[in-house]
Amino acid sequence: MTQPDHSGHFGPFGGRYVSETLIPALQELEKAYEHFRNDKEFKEEFAYYLRQYVGRPNPLYYAEKLSKKLGGAKIYLKREDLNHTGAHKVNNTIGQGLLARRMGKKRVIAETGAGQHGVATATVAALFGMECEVFMGEEDIRRQSLNVFRMKLLGAKVTPVTSGTATLKDAMNEALRHWVTYVENTFYIIGTVAGPHPYPLMVRDFQSIIGEEARAQHLEAEGRLPDYLVAAVGGGSNAIGLFHAFMNDASVRMIGVEAAGFGIETGKHAAPLCAGTVGVLHGNKTYLLQDQFGQIAHAHSISAGLDYPGVGPEHAWLKDSGRASYVSVTDDEAMDAFQTLTLEEGIIPALESSHAVAHAIRLAPTLGREETIVVCLSGRGDKDIHTVAERMGVQL
């Protein structure tokens, strides 16, 4: 069955739980998107920017040294870290930026956690000549100062969010508040496959280039489909982007990797699919971290991009339907994987992506040498150097 349905539901998940003021804007967006997603010119324009500006296709790289060291399955890395701006986020912001331009919007806003989506939004705003404001939690501004400065260089206004835990969830609250106030002239570029319909669908479509390329590249390299797909899941956009093209390939197992933070058992984690319950937040019904009264709990992860108490509704559906499975990786395991990939392959991964790498490192030795794992290396780690140094006790 094709998901989502016409009203944006993935099984019981998703939907459009927003205040009435935003409904007309979402209807307008949905209508525009339904039109342009099938528009030949729009698709060509999107493909042009992905090729000439983002630098796609990026390689599906066989991490031979690491694979041989682990002594099991072959690990392939889908190199989203080589995209312009350094992560997969730009695939989506190019798409939404083009859509905003077609809709005649002169102003875009975004929420950001690690700052990758903020940078990618500020980038397309500069490219397409739009005003840009990015909402970012104060805690994340501290953790990701480099990206904050990049956004400012790109001409964006970065608005610190101090409410709640001052992280991604609160940035999203503030972006929604801002949008409801300036809805007439503002396009909200949501950075992940969450939020009210049509965002989970639209962001999935713009990110599905990851899996389309990976599928063709793996077929070319191995003459067959991969056995496993592994991707980190915060909101879940790089994972959905990788998974989507393989949805009907029943032999391909899909694994989403959530952030276990200090460990699931400590309660300080960001793993709603592994250890959460169903609820409604930020416009959609999905798995959440929350207490018994429906108050949203604080998430924890070393990775600012995964530090979110919810997850995209399609992942909730893929979990319940059994099509994908979800595991978790702690801060410590992600740090180890960060160092392993850096030393073994000379590739410095983002802390988000390090979670996926960590699970691949766990999984590969349990598999045969003829089997393959495709890992989404969703972003590069330059932005995390300060966090890593602090963690290693190194003063920069």
Partner 1 sequence: MGRIADKFEETGKRGESALVTFVTAGDPDLKTTAEVVLELERSGADVIELGVPFSDPMADGPTIQLSSERALAGGTTLPAILDLVRELRSSTQIPIVLMGYYNPIFIYGAERFAADAAAAGVDGLLIVDLPPEESAELKEATGRHGMDLIFLLTPTSDRSRIETVSGLASGFVYYVSVTGVTGARSEIADTLAGRVTQVKGELSVPLVVGFGISDPAQAGEVAKVSDGVVVGSALVKHFERYQGAELLAQAGSFVKALKEGMQNARGAKSAS
Non-local (6+) Cβ contacts of 44 within 8 A are none
Binding status of residue 395 toward partner 1 by CB under 8 A: no
Binding status of residue 248 toward partner 1 by CB under 8 A: no
Residue among 194, 204, 202, 198 nearest 284 (CA)? 194
Near partner 1 by CB under 8 A: residue from 113, 198, 283, 313: 283
Residue owning tokens 């701006």 = 85
- Residue 16 identity (one-letter amino acid): R
What is the distance between the alpha carbons of residues 259 and 233, in angstroms, rounded to a whole number?
A: 8
Minimum Å gap between C-beta 301 and partner 1 is: 18
Question: Is 89 in the active site?
Answer: yes
**286-315 mask for partner 1 (x: CB under 8 A)?**
--x-x-xxxxx-------------------
Strand, coil or helix: what is 210?
helix
Minimum Å gap between C-beta 193 and partner 1 is: 19
Binding status of residue 185 toward partner 1 by CB under 8 A: no
Binding status of residue 104 toward partner 1 by CB under 8 A: no
- Which of 74, 78, 89, 169 is an active site residue? 89
Minimum Å gap between C-beta 309 and partner 1 is: 9
Near partner 1 by CB under 8 A: residue from 103, 146, 180, 275: 180
Binding status of residue 184 toward partner 1 by CB under 8 A: yes
Residue owning tokens 């610190």 = 160
Q: Is 166 left (phi over 0), alpha (psi -120 to 50) or beta?
A: left
Query: What end-to-end distance do the CA atoms of the chain give, in Å?
Result: 52
Exposed, middle or buried, 295 (CB in 10 Å: 0-12/13-18/19+)?
A: exposed
What is the distance between the alpha carbons of residues 313 and 14, in angstroms, rounded to a whole number?
A: 5
Binding status of residue 97 toward partner 1 by CB under 8 A: no
Question: Is 111 in the active site?
Answer: yes
CA distances from 382 to 59, 115, 388 (A): 19, 12, 10
Q: Is 261 left (phi over 0), alpha (psi -120 to 50) or beta?
A: left
DSSP 235-259: S-HHHHHHHGGGTT-TT-EEEEEEE
Binding status of residue 17 toward partner 1 by CB under 8 A: yes
Binding status of residue 372 toward partner 1 by CB under 8 A: no
**148-177 mask for partner 1 (x: CB under 8 A)?**
---------------xx----xx--x--xx
Binding status of residue 23 toward partner 1 by CB under 8 A: yes
Near partner 1 by CB under 8 A: residue from 4, 15, 57, 234: 15
Binding status of residue 279 toward partner 1 by CB under 8 A: yes
Minimum Å gap between C-beta 264 and partner 1 is: 21
Minimum Å gap between C-beta 369 and partner 1 is: 48
Q: Smaller CB distance to partner 1: residue 29 or 334?
A: 29
Total residues binding partner 1 (CB under 8 A): 38
- Which of 30, 80, 111, 345 is an active site residue? 111
What is the distance between the alpha carbons of residues 149 and 135, in angstroms, rounded to a whole number?
A: 14
Q: Which stretch binds partner 1 (CB under 8 A): 23-31, 33-41, 202-210, 218-226?
A: 23-31
Q: Smaller CB distance to partner 1: residue 63 or 168?
A: 168
List the helix and strand counts (H, then E) for the chain.
Answer: 16, 15
Q: Smaller CB distance to partner 1: residue 15 or 261?
A: 15
Strand, coil or helix: what is 15?
strand
Residue among 308, 361, 310, 370 nearest 333 (CA)? 361
| CB-CB contact of 328 with 262 (8 Å) | no
Active site amino acids: 89, 111, 378
Which residues of this chain interact with partner 1, rule CB under 8 A? Answer: 7, 15-25, 163-164, 169-170, 173, 176-177, 180-184, 277, 279-283, 285, 288, 290, 292-296
